[in-house]
């Protein structure tokens, strides 16, 4: 018998039609979930008091999820977090780093169409998430979507129209669901260390700044120089290339002087930052930006958010950002 806790935070999957359009419908999703009751599976559902569209998620909601998981962690074999798709990859990334020492499955899922729609993808996504949450050797945060199980901190939302809305461009799936579930256990993380969850510092100010031709680099540099950020992510071109814009470089140097990290990622979906592959990748590194390898923007933000919340700083922060803590990057 597997005992699973389902946390319903909001999102399209549990919405219903209203005169103003789709909107959260309290009580609807827990009733619909009764369809999944079967021998060998027991699950409880906690519906958050304030159901939100995931585009409105903040660190406060992340702490709500963390607190709900931590307070009930000893009582369940696995967990399913039902979440809106817009920021699901961000939440999955934050949880993957915040739930240090995780030795049970935490599986996020949602839908492109609500369960009340006759063609909803939510039924299959929920079935796969529940099955994944019953796997005792899945010791990580994952996303179940469109017949794939993806590592949470590798996943990205890639399509707002199709049912295959999520994938992990730089990592293979953890499982594929067909007539049989094909578990790729050789790719799963092993449990590491003791259970030490971290709450999020809700006052941290982090930003992702995308470089664009023209004034984009200078504007990013001005944002870095302004002094209000605790950390920043620069979305550069290709393998981490950027113009040697003096305003941008001065902004990175100002952040470094304040002890605030700046991480360089690539704008493209596949590939990684590789300092030295092109001469144009050197100026950001020389100014003090750290290369982020093939981290997704969602994973980079989540990793910085959790490490800074745990007061990791200086060289220890740089070292932690350069290595894979929860399978989030290729080293």
Q: Looking at the annotation, which residues are catalytic?
A: 12
DSSP E strand boundaries for 86-199: 99-100, 106-109, 141-145, 148-151, 156-157, 166-167, 175-177, 181-183, 196-197
DSSP E strand boundaries for the chain: 2-10, 15-18, 21-24, 41-52, 78-82, 99-100, 106-109, 141-145, 148-151, 156-157, 166-167, 175-177, 181-183, 196-197, 206-210, 231-236, 262-266, 290-291
Q: Which residue from 134, 154, 132, 152 is spatially nearest to 142, judged by alpha carbons?
A: 152
Q: Which residue from 85, 83, 8 is spatially nearest to 43, judged by alpha carbons?
A: 8
3-state secondary structure of 140: coil
Question: How far apart, in whole angstroms, are the C-alpha atoms of residue 92 and residue 277?
Answer: 31
Supply 200's token pair. 């999020």
Please name the residues in contact with 39: beta carbons below 8 A apart, sequence gap of 6 or more: none
Tell me the DSSP string of 100-128.
ET--S-EEEE--SS-TTSTT-SHHHHHHH
Phi, psi of 237 (to 5 degrees): -90, 155
Question: How far apart, in whole angstroms, are the C-alpha atoms of residue 87 and residue 322?
Answer: 24
Question: How far apart, in whole angstroms, are the C-alpha atoms of residue 54 and residue 123?
Answer: 19
Question: How far apart, in whole angstroms, are the C-alpha atoms of residue 330 and residue 289?
Answer: 19
Yes or no: say if 218 and 249 are a contact pair by the CB < 8 Å rule: no
Question: How far apart, in whole angstroms, are the C-alpha atoms of residue 21 and residue 18?
Answer: 5
Supply 49's token pair. 């008091």
Yes or no: say if 73 and 102 are a contact pair by the CB < 8 Å rule: no
């Amino acid at each position: 018998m597997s005992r699973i806790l389902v946390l319903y935070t909001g999102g399209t999957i549990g919405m219903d039609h209203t005169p103003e359009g789709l909107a959260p419908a309290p009580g609807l999703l827990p009733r619909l979930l009764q369809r999944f009751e079967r021998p060998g599976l027991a699950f409880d559902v906690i519906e958050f008091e304030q159901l939100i569209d995931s585009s409105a998620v903040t660190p406060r909601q992340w702490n709500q999820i963390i607190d709900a998981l931590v307070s009930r962690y000893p009582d369940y074999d696995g967990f399913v977090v039902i979440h809106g798709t817009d920021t699901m990859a961000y939440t999955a990334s934050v949880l993957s780093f915040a739930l240090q020492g995780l030795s049970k499955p935490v599986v996020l899922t949602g839908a492109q169409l609500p369960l009340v729609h006759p063609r909803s993808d939510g039924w299959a996504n929920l079935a796969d998430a529940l099955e994944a949450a019953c796997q005792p050797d899945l010791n990580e945060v994952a996303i179940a979507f469109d017949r794939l199980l993806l590592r949470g901190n590798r996943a990205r939302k890639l399509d707002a129209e199709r049912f295959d809305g999520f994938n992990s461009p730089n990592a293979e799936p953890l499982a594929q669901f067909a007539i049989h579930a094909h578990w790729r256990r050789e790719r799963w993380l092993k449990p590491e260390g003791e259970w030490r969850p971290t709450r999020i510092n809700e006052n941290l100010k982090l930003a992702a700044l995308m470089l664009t031709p023209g004034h984009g680099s200078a504007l990013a540099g001005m944002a870095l120089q302004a002094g209000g950020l605790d950390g920043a992510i620069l979305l550069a071109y290709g393998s981490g290339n950027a113009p040697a814009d003096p305003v941008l470089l001065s902004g990175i140097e100002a952040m470094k002087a304040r002890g605030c990290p700046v991480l360089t990622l690539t704008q493209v979906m596949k590939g990684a930052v590789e300092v030295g592959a092109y001469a144009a990748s050197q100026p950001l590194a020389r100014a003090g930006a750290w290369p982020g390898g093939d981290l997704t923007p969602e994973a980079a933000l989540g990793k910085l958010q959790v490490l800074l919340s745990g007061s990791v700083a200086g060289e220890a922060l740089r070292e932690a950002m350069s290595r894979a803590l929860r399978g989030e990057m290729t080293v």
